[in-house]
Amino acid sequence: MADRNITIRQARTNNLDGLNLVVPRNQLVVFVGRSGSGKSSLVFDTIAAEAGFQLNETFPPFARNRLPKWARPEVEHIDGLTPVIVIDQRRIGGNARSTVGTITDAWTYLRLLFSRLSEPHVGESNRFSFNDPTGMCPTCHGLGEVVVSAVERFLDLDKSLAGGAIRLPGFGNGGYWYTQYADIGTFDVDTPLRDWTASELEALLYGGQAAADLGHKPPKDYEGVVERFERIYLRTADNLSERKQDAIRKFTKSGTCPDCAGDRLNEAARTATVDGNTIGQLARLEITELLDVVRQIDTRIVGPVVAALTARLEAMVTIGLGYLALSRATTTLSGGESQRIKTVKHLGSSLTEMTYVVDEPTVGLHPTDVDSMVKLLEQLRDSGNTVLVVEHDPAVMRHADQVVEVGPGAGAEGGRLVFQGAFAELGGSGTPTGKALARQRAMKVTNRRENGKLTVTDAERNNLQKVTVGFPTGVMTVLTGVAGSGKSSLAQELVEQQQAIVIDQKPVSANRRSTPITYTGIAPAIRRLFARLNQVPAALFSANSDGACPECKGLGVFYTDLAFMEGQEVVCETCQGRRFTPEVLAHTVNGHSIADVEELTIDETITELPDARISRALQQLAAVGLGYLRLGQSLNTLSGGECQRVKIAKELREAGEPTTYVLDEPTTGLHLDDIDTLLEVLDSLVEHGHTVVVVEHNLDVIRQADWLIDLGPGPGRHGGTVLFEGRPADYGGHSTPTSLALAGAGRATAVRRGALTGRV
């Protein structure tokens, strides 16, 4: 009889401090703890990594190269693992051939349906696949889009032909228009194109009949600029060098395929119908509407197919994505949408005894949508799997079979098991999460006064229905509404119309060597401090000077290049990776050598390295709650939320002019405690004279805003209008999802916290 537990002994990955844990299988286990406490190190970098590593080992080497690479975690012993599937927030991204329909397999069922029922009969289901040569549109090869000439960028109207009016590469020398248009006497090579007649311009660009009307040759003898450009460059794009392709990219754009109008399919596939609808029409419907159509289909011949398709579409609706269409390219989905789609995909799987590892599934979800997400996780568990979830939302913890808290603090102050048990016991446990759940959070009493307004006018991006709305300046505004209601679309319009700046969660730097030291530029100040206090030259403390270890030249490591395996980093034996000579390491500040500095946290540095310049450079990072980062830690290891706070710190340090900042769900990855820190950080942006607009679902953040703009009422085309603009405190008594959620939370809060009168 197999062991029913996953057992972990002495885990030391990243900040884990010899952590021991026994997790029951076939349960829903929620991992909680402050940001940076080690939840991801435990769940992703230890459990998922070990399972992935062991699974890879069972494949022959050539197959292993095609599998995701897993670094073996630092752990003494793990057993009871089953194969792991990670459902993270990484966008599905890249591939232009992937749509909501293909990624969820709904498209497979729809194709099957068409292959059985379509009028006229077209053939097997591959004939409806845009990724199959027998189904794809021959013009766009199934992409639905083609590269077309950006004719408006071809000509510089202020110049003459002789002066280089044709901007395209290879058209400058005059030979071209001379051979083409010599017989048309009126093509004056010295007149700026602006002074040409419309028919002359037309003849130049398109040749053919337009040119024949002016000259003496038959239309086919005139090749216009556009035709020539497309013949030489576009139709042979695959054979061009990278540099040529770069050069012509400026003169092209992608446009809807003229043949299939974006349906991606060849003529037979895109014109056949079922109950009067083409497959393209169905793909463009919102999933909720598609469901209505599918339910009408006569199921006598195709019962199982309709049932499978209906189940898949219903799962999409349950998970709050009913507003998407199957034709939507996955490259345009948000992180939260991508994650929910991945979850649906796995729900359809009949594999059991898997371990699903899920990262913050509530991201992007309105409180009213969280319950359906939890149901999906429970469904995964009930079909015989183990579900491990990293999550900060109490609404998810409440449904866990077991809650595991890692902590108590972040970084070196975390990495230990501080709680394991039922959610009901967590509140009284005294752990950071337990205390945060029980605590009375200070309420904002007065709303700050705006000092002006930025107006977004007639916004029609995506689902917005000609929205005109004012954003008050000098205060914090929160943008709310159910997922898909249009919040991001409106935020993008604010960015475009009013030059707002987005502070997102993308990586701070692509460079692996980027650390808090390099990012804030404090290395010279640190060297000068060591020099001053030790009465020696500052250059000694530079890793490319005489003070450096002569063996590794101050790198601390050697790189070995192995022909068939990945390169290896080997620590230098002479300096043990400490990069400096023993003489240099003997010079200390407050007991820390220059090599120890990399191990100091930002908070420690501010107290231990007494230097105004260093403290000033670091104090904003500490203020945004990142005081636990080590000075030498690669910024590549930061989570999305941490990256966002690094960027806020930079703005606090550098922005002079009042600026408008837009933040999309800044609470992502934040523990309840850290949300207080975030709110303080946002407040300090406002106190510096800036305007802050946040897209957010977190009720605590919403209640702390000065102004609220609520979009809705529903997702997709059922949304896109402004339901409310005003102070959050005045948004009671409406029957909108946000007003109800605020009221619900308000009541719960009032009971728990014994406070909350009408004013927020």
Q: What residues line the site for Zn ion (CB under 5 A)?
A: 137, 139-140, 257, 259-260, 549, 551-552, 572, 574-575
Closest separation in Å from C-beta 8 to ligand ADP: 14
Round to whole Å and give the CA distance between 246 and 163.
24
DSSP state of 335: H
Question: Quick one: what does residue 323 bind among ligand ADP, Zn ion, none, with the CB cut-off 5 to 8 Å set by partner type?
Answer: ligand ADP
User: Which residues in the 626-655 window bind ligand ADP by CB under 6 A?
Assistant: 628, 633, 637, 639
Question: Quick one: what does residue 137 bind among ligand ADP, Zn ion, none, with the CB cut-off 5 to 8 Å set by partner type?
Answer: Zn ion
State which of residues 111, 312, 392, 487 lies at the interface with ligand ADP (CB under 6 A): 487
Closest separation in Å from C-beta 238 to Zn ion: 17
Strands 386-390 and 355-359 turn out to be parallel
State which of residues 137, 257, 363, 483 lies at the interface with ligand ADP (CB under 6 A): 483
Question: Quick one: what does residue 486 bind among ligand ADP, Zn ion, none, with the CB cut-off 5 to 8 Å set by partner type?
Answer: ligand ADP
Closest separation in Å from C-beta 733 to ligand ADP: 23
Contact status, residue 393 vs residue 366, Cβ threshold 8 Å: no
- Collapsing DSSP to helix, strand or coil, 390 comes out as strand
User: Which residues in the 268-327 window bind ligand ADP by CB under 6 A?
Assistant: 323-324
Is 344 a residue that touches ligand ADP (CB under 6 A)?
no
Strands 588-589 and 568-571 turn out to be unpaired
Round to whole Å and give the CA distance between 439 and 749.
10
How many beta carbons lie within 10 A of that of residue 753, not counting itself?
14
Round to whole Å and give the CA distance between 53 and 547.
41
CA torsion 484-489-491-497 (nearest 10°) is -160
Closest separation in Å from C-beta 492 to ligand ADP: 8
User: Which residues in the 359-388 window bind ligand ADP by CB under 6 A?
Assistant: none
Is 489 a residue that touches ligand ADP (CB under 6 A)?
yes
Which is closer to Zn ion, CB of 328 or CB of 340? 328
DSSP state of 125: G
Q: Would you give the binding string for ligand ADP spanning residues 69-98, x where CB under 6 A is met? A: ------------------------------
Question: Quick one: what does residue 259 bind among Zn ion, ligand ADP, none, with the CB cut-off 5 to 8 Å set by partner type?
Answer: Zn ion
DSSP state of 183: T
Round to whole Å and give the CA distance between 710 and 699.
13
Question: Quick one: what does residue 297 bind among Zn ion, ligand ADP, none, with the CB cut-off 5 to 8 Å set by partner type?
Answer: none
Closest separation in Å from C-beta 42 to ligand ADP: 7
Which is closer to ligand ADP, CB of 305 or CB of 313? 313
Encoded tokens for 589 = 């500040």
Q: Would you give the binding string for ligand ADP spanning residues 395-414, x where CB under 6 A is met? A: ---------------xx---
- Which residue type, as a one-letter code, is found at position 423? F
- Give the bridge partners for 580, in sequence order: 548
Contact status, residue 703 vs residue 757, Cβ threshold 8 Å: no
Question: Quick one: what does residue 332 bind among ligand ADP, Zn ion, none, with the CB cut-off 5 to 8 Å set by partner type?
Answer: ligand ADP
Contact status, residue 22 vs residue 395, Cβ threshold 8 Å: no
Which is closer to ligand ADP, CB of 114 or CB of 471? 471
Round to whole Å and give the CA distance between 510 and 638.
12
Which is closer to ligand ADP, CB of 5 or CB of 639? 639
State which of residues 224, 280, 434, 484 lies at the interface with ligand ADP (CB under 6 A): 484
What does the radius of gyration of the chain's CA atoms come to, in whole angstroms? 31
Round to whole Å and give the CA distance between 642 and 629.
10
Going 44 to 46 to 49 to 50, the CA torsion angle's sign is negative
Question: Quick one: what does residue 13 bind among ligand ADP, Zn ion, none, with the CB cut-off 5 to 8 Å set by partner type?
Answer: none
Which is closer to ligand ADP, CB of 200 or CB of 369? 369
Closest separation in Å from C-beta 418 to Zn ion: 39
Comparing CA positions, the residue from 485, 493, 484, 486 lying closest to residue 458 is 493
State which of residues 29, 33, 365, 508 lies at the interface with ligand ADP (CB under 6 A): 33
Question: Quick one: what does residue 575 bind among Zn ion, ligand ADP, none, with the CB cut-off 5 to 8 Å set by partner type?
Answer: Zn ion
Is 481 a residue that touches ligand ADP (CB under 6 A)?
yes
State which of residues 332, 451, 588, 590 lies at the interface with ligand ADP (CB under 6 A): 332
Closest separation in Å from C-beta 130 to ligand ADP: 18
Which is closer to ligand ADP, CB of 214 or CB of 321? 321
- Which residue type, as a one-letter code, is found at position 529? L
| Burial letters 256-291, b for 16+ CB under 10 A, else e | ebebbebbbbbebbbbbebeeebbbebbebbbbbbb
Judged by CB under 6 A, the stretch of 35-43, 200-208, 222-230, 344-352 that binds ligand ADP is 35-43
Closest separation in Å from C-beta 261 to Zn ion: 8
- Which residue type, as a one-letter code, is found at position 263? D
Give me the residue label for tokens 């509404």. 481
User: Which residues in the 531-590 window bind ligand ADP by CB under 6 A?
Assistant: none
Round to whole Å and give the CA distance between 179 and 167.
18
CA torsion 649-393-435-603 (nearest 10°) is -20
Closest separation in Å from C-beta 481 to ligand ADP: 5
Which uninterrupted H or E stretch holds 618?
helix 612-621
- Which residue type, as a one-letter code, is found at position 424? A
Closest separation in Å from C-beta 270 to Zn ion: 9
Q: Which pairs with CB-CB distance under 8 Å and at least 24 residues apart come from 159-163?
A: 159/192, 159/193, 160/188, 160/189, 160/190, 160/191, 160/192, 160/193, 161/187, 161/189, 161/190, 161/193, 162/189, 162/190, 163/190, 163/192
User: Which residues in the 220-279 window bind ligand ADP by CB under 6 A?
Assistant: none
Round to whole Å and give the CA distance between 359 and 44.
9
Judged by CB under 6 A, the stretch of 253-261, 465-473, 479-487, 587-595 that binds ligand ADP is 479-487
Q: Output the furthest CA–CA distance in the chain (Å, rounded).
A: 94
Which residues contact ligand ADP (rule: CB under 6 A)? 14-15, 33, 35-41, 323-324, 332, 334, 410-411, 462-463, 481, 483-489, 628, 633, 637, 639, 715-716
